[in-house]
Chains A and B, each alone.
Chain A
Amino acid sequence: MYEKDFLKQLFHKIYTIRIFETECIKLYRQGLIRGYFHPYVGEEATAVGVCSALAEDDYIISTHRGHGHCIARGAQIDRMVAELLGKKTGYCSGLGGSMHIADVQAGNLGANGIVGGGIPIGVGAALGISIRKEKKVVAIFFSDGAANNGVFAESLNLAAIWNLPAIFLLENNHYAVSTPIEQSSRNQNLYERATGYGVHALAVDGNNVIEVFEQTKDARQMCIKGKGPVLIEAKTYRHGGHHVNDPGAYMPKDRLDYFKSKDPVTIAKKHLKEQGKMSESEIEKIEKEVETTMERAIDFAKESPELSFAEFNQMVMGY
């Protein structure tokens, strides 16, 4: 059984990610956010379950689909919306956008647009922890797509031979853009690949925040005791296409319906009701609060200035 406050916190974060994404998708469709935007809708429980099991000075490293990781790790959503809108008040002064949010204070080593790009960097951060003999871990978020890339194998092996305190968080949302996992992997239990490298590995229901939390907590303990790394494959699903403008026509309806019936928001709400004994009206109050915070974040971002040409120019090297 879990404390009501803890369950409330989990739901609050999951719902914040959901609202952040759905509201920002609207801003994107209004043309206020440009470039590419990869929503985390449907996968929220993975980021929240993982980050809730981490200590304050642990690190995470994120991906192109990273908004959820940032929020779960405690980023301010007003500064995130500002970054997506390319505003000066954003985490990267509006220079990084959706795919490059880094929040050093929150131990977020950053997102990047190269699938798999963060894996060896996360391993390096874990090596740093190991060399300095610190009691910290790095949670390395990456995807099923990245698991087919060479860096995955190299990084996993390095972390294994050096017993590094790294938790490899394989978010298996079953697609690399349009390519389904059935087509890219003969064995779709991707966690089993880690066993070949001598790494302890398991799969969890990525839509169930409690399950993700529990397994991450155990993995963290193993890492702290010098028995890392650990690989956790969180099985989850996107509720839409690869990015906002991808209708995801290649996603079979029955499978999407199945995963929507296991919606992380609904599951977290159920935990709150059943274990936290929270009433519908109390939950509605949390939802309202999240929605109001998001409205304010959007106002803040819209009212924020963009970098001027002169400020931009100051950042330019040469010419």
Chain B
Amino acid sequence: MARKSMIQAINEALHQKMEDDETVVVLGEDVGIDGGVFRATLGLIDKFGESRVMDTPLAESSIVGAAIGMAINGLKPVAEIQFLGFIYQGFDQILCHAARYLHRSQGRYSIPMVVRAPYGAGVKALEHHSESTEAHFAHIPGLTVVIPSTPKDAKGLLISSIEHPGPVIYLEPKRLYRYKKEEVPEEIYRTPIGKAETVREGADITLVGWGGMIPVMQEAAEHVDNEGVDAEVIDLRTILPFDVETITKSVEKTGRLVIVHEAPRSFGVGAEIAAIVGERNLLHLLAPIQRVTGYDIIPPLSKLEDYNYPNSERVVKAIHKTMEF
């Protein structure tokens, strides 16, 4: 096993799945010669050629639409959208077609395709280059939405996504692309879709988040550990459908829940989690559920990004508030 960053793990997953299955193709803006703006597709065009690694014109609607067409026709396309904020012209194809084909054709057409996109803050850009809009996709029946937070999960979840029979929106937290390296198995392996992972066990309070928020939550958990608060940290990994059992079991144990996401607060994924826990765990709860989120604003520039982005201090504050209730 070698130590790899998340971007290397994603790259390796693509290389291995393309070797493993000749129906896997990659398309998108600058994915070929340039190897992708974040280098996720580096080397693919040299190994697999232009017929399987396609540099497209700047046309998101056609990138997604063509992926659907290829998927109907026996291929397994992996489309890259350069930044999640650039996806909206392709959103029509995702919402109106990719997510609905199976239903529309009464099971005759499945759409085994993946749309990969870097999401979230971390490059100190703003607006479209830094936004976290997973909730848009999580509201679409027929889609699967996946967000890894570690190199190991990034590889395993991408492989599972490529093999998944339906359309998967695979979102990559760009701030974690090169955040750390860890041991990533050399072989092809699958991380299950729809399963959360408890990355830190604890008895007093449950913290739920995903993607770029996981290191922030872990830092907060270590901080309160010194104060004698034992926090459990859950990495959701799949947003749609999310792992209700892992969350509810944890809340049964701790009686307290803090949800962390960098996306705007209102109508975010955190609200759905809170609603489910409210439905299932009302009598287990010892304090109101807290949410630590981005503000309801457009992601701002540079230093202001740090104000908007939930940090461990804000998470610690929410933990205190919950514990002291």
Contacts and interface: CB of A to CB of B under 8 A. Distances in A.
Contacts of A176: 29-30, 57-58
B89 A151 contact: yes
Contact of B297 (A97, A148, A183, A316): A316
Contacts of B304: 86, 94-95, 306-307, 312
B30 A35 contact: no
Nearest to A308: B307
Contact of A94 (B37, B296, B301): B301
A97 B126 contact: yes
Interface stretch (A108-116, A202-210, A286-294): A108-116
B34 A178 contact: yes
A151 B60 CA distance: 11
Interface residues of A, number: 39
A250 interface: yes
A179 B29 contact: yes
A279 interface: no
Nearest to B292: A319
Interface string A142-173: 00011011110000000000000000000000
A110 B304 CA distance: 21
Given A183-B55, A312-B307, A35 B300 contact: no
Interface in B280-325: 293, 295-298, 300-304, 307
Given A34-B301, A97-B302, A318 B58 contact: no
B192 to A, nearest CB: 34
Contacts of A131: none
A239 B293 CA distance: 41
Given A86-B303, A113-B128, A250-B33, A316 B295 contact: yes
Contact of A115 (B58, B300, B301, B303): B58
A96 interface: yes
Q: Name the prevailing secondary structure of the A interface residues.
A: loop
Contacts, number: 115
A114 B302 contact: no
A37 to B, nearest CB: 10
Given A150-B61, A179-B55, A316-B297, A97 B125 contact: yes
B57 A319 contact: no
Contacts of A316: 295-297
Nearest to B37: A177
Given A86-B303, A312-B304, A34 B125 contact: yes
A36 interface: yes
A184 interface: yes
Interface in A93-121: 94-97, 99-100, 112-116
A317 interface: yes
Contacts of B61: 149-150
Contacts of A150: 59, 61-62, 89
A317 B295 contact: yes
A179 B296 contact: no
A306 B300 CA distance: 13
A312 B306 CA distance: 11
Given A178-B33, A179-B57, A312-B307, A35 B124 contact: yes
Given A35-B301, A114-B86, 14 more contacts: A34-B302, A35-B129, A86-B302, A95-B301, A100-B126, A113-B129, A145-B57, A148-B57, A178-B30, A178-B34, A250-B34, A312-B300, A318-B295, A319-B296
Interface of B: 29-30, 33-34, 37, 55-62, 82, 85-86, 88-89, 123-129, 265-266, 293, 295-298, 300-304, 307
27 contacts: A34-B124, A35-B124, A35-B129, A35-B301, A36-B125, A86-B304, A94-B304, A95-B300, A99-B126, A100-B126, A100-B127, A113-B127, A113-B128, A116-B58, A145-B58, A148-B57, A149-B60, A149-B61, A176-B30, A177-B34, A178-B34, A179-B34, A179-B55, A184-B56, A250-B34, A317-B297, A319-B265
